Structure 1
Amino acid sequence: MITHIISDMGGVLVALEWSERVSGLLGRSVPIDELHHLWINARSTVDFESGRIDFDTFAQNFIQEFDLQISPEQVQHEFLEFVQAPMPGCDEILEELKQQYHLSLLSNTNPAHYERLRDRYDFYAPFEQVFLSHEIGVMKPDPAIFHHVLAKLEIAPENAAFFDDGARNVTAAQTVGIHAYQVHSPQELGAIVETFETPALNP
């Protein structure tokens, strides 16, 4: 039985201007599927979201990696704007879910985006545990990050349901044995959870 809901952040619960901003920085249109692939393979972003470099070094490395003729300050400004506000209905759906399930967050992210949400919104409050790639040192879709989460939660994979907007991340979670679903809004997440057998008690 599913007792733990684990959700991604950006693109599921928090609105992103990811494709638009990256396309602007790179000077070309980047479709969302290509963007997911680029993000987990670009050395600058992997190092930043795995906690190996700081924001200033990331901006410099990003410019070098993609041979851009822009300033580090411009990269940082656009990068911060990737993350917008929690999506409409997010707070209500999370509050409802936590009445029946253990609720955790698992996000590929970095200190800049984490602090932006923390300082502007009470977004993280509903979650019992928050798992962030830059703190763990591993990014989705590496199976190691899912094994880490399961170990910390002390649960079997079949007791967890994971929600992400990235198809590769969903597939990676499924290979570990987690029930995983691709969604793009809190409403889509909530609708899938409604099909689960509800735990008799909040475990």
Structure 2
Amino acid sequence: MNKIKNIVFDLGGVIMNLNVPKTIEKFERLGITNIVNSTGHHYTDSVFYDFEIGVVSEDEFVNKLLGMSNSNVTYKNVKEAWNAMILNMPKERIELLISLKKNYRLFLLSNTNSIHQEKFEREFIINNGYNFKDLFNKVYYSHQVGIRKPEEKIFRFVLKSSKIEAKETLFIDDSFENIEVAQKAGIQTYHINSKNTLNSLFNT
């Protein structure tokens, strides 16, 4: 960490807890089935990825899912099911970010969408009394940037946009695929898993 000046965090699985199966289960109750492949790691319909890079709007996304659902399902039902995967941001992780910001420039790079963003940012204000974005020097959401991980160009975009050097930057993510691509861009990396936690990295 001696040469690191910048830390880029992923959101889900790193700062915020997620439970994707919870959304899948709720969708199935609405008649929306087979939305992920056999491995459970990829969506079967491109609308999920298009929504994540802002190619389709919230209305287009929800209406597409309504067309896949039971006849009595509402717009609100779909949004609630989609948001079911969003869990909490543990207090100790927030406190860690506040502490790290004293010595590093912090950035967020997240594959997310407008519905999820609205939910976790609103809940963060309710729980903490200030804006989630205030924890970082700059925030990059895929649906606003128009690029998503693991595309290498999103990492190069962050470096250029924030005017930071790859060799002085640490990227933290729970997806090994994203980690590998960040390394190709010359960025230092740390893969979050059951053994490698934020606590173990920063000795907290």
Shorter-chain TM range is 0.7 to 0.9
What one-letter code is carried by the residue in structure 2 that aligns with 1:129?
Answer: K
**Residue deviations 1:133-156 (CA, integer Å, cap 9, x gap):** 011000100111101000012122
Q: In structure 1, which of residues 168, 171, 180 is the aligned counterpart of residue 180 of structure 2?
A: 171
Deviation at residue 28 of structure 1 after TM alignment: 6.7
Q: % of aligned pairs identical?
A: 29
**TM superposition outliers: structure 1 runs of 4+ over 6 Å:** 28-31
1:154 and 1:6 map into 2 onto residues whose CA distance is 13
- Say if 2:14 is the partner of 1:17: no
1:192 Cα deviation from its structure 2 partner: 1.7
Counterpart code for 2:39 = E
Cα drift, residue 69 of structure 1 = 4.0
**1:32-43 correspondence to structure 2 within 5 Å:** 34-38=39-43, 42-43=45-46
Equivalences for 1:153-168 in 2 at 5 Å? Answer: 153-168=162-177
Structure 2 counterpart SS, 1:161: strand
Aligned to 1:132: 141
Instruction: Please list, as runs of the form range in 1=range in 2, the aligned pairs for 1:1-203 lying within 5 A after superposition.
Output: 1-26=3-28, 27=33, 34-38=39-43, 42-62=45-65, 68-69=69-70, 71=73, 72-121=75-124, 122=130, 123-183=132-192, 188-194=197-203
Q: Residues 150 and 178 of structure 2 are in contact (CA less than 8 Å); yes or no, is this contact kept in structure 1?
A: yes
TM norm structure 1: 0.81
Q: Gapped runs of 5+ residues in structure 1? A: 195-203
Change (3 A) 1:35 1:97: farther
1:23–1:30: 8 Å Cα contact kept in structure 2?
no
Partner of 2:108: helix, strand, or coil?
strand
5+ long unaligned stretches in structure 2: 125-129
Q: What is the deviation of 1:92? A: 0.9
Give the deviation of 1:25 after TM superposition.
2.2
Q: CA RMSD in A?
A: 2.6
Shift of 1:98: 0.8
**Structure 1 CA distance for aligned equivalents of residues 84 and 142 of structure 2:** 19
- Partners of 1:84 and 1:12 lie apart in 2 by 12
1:181 aligns to what SS in structure 2?
strand
Distance between the aligned counterparts of 2:147 and 2:159, measured in 1?
A: 14
**Residues 30 and 61 of structure 1, relative CA distance in 2, 3 Å threshold:** closer
TM-score by length of 2: 0.80
Q: Which has the higher contact order (CA 8 A, sep 6+)?
A: 1
Q: How much has 1:190 moved relative to structure 2?
A: 4.1
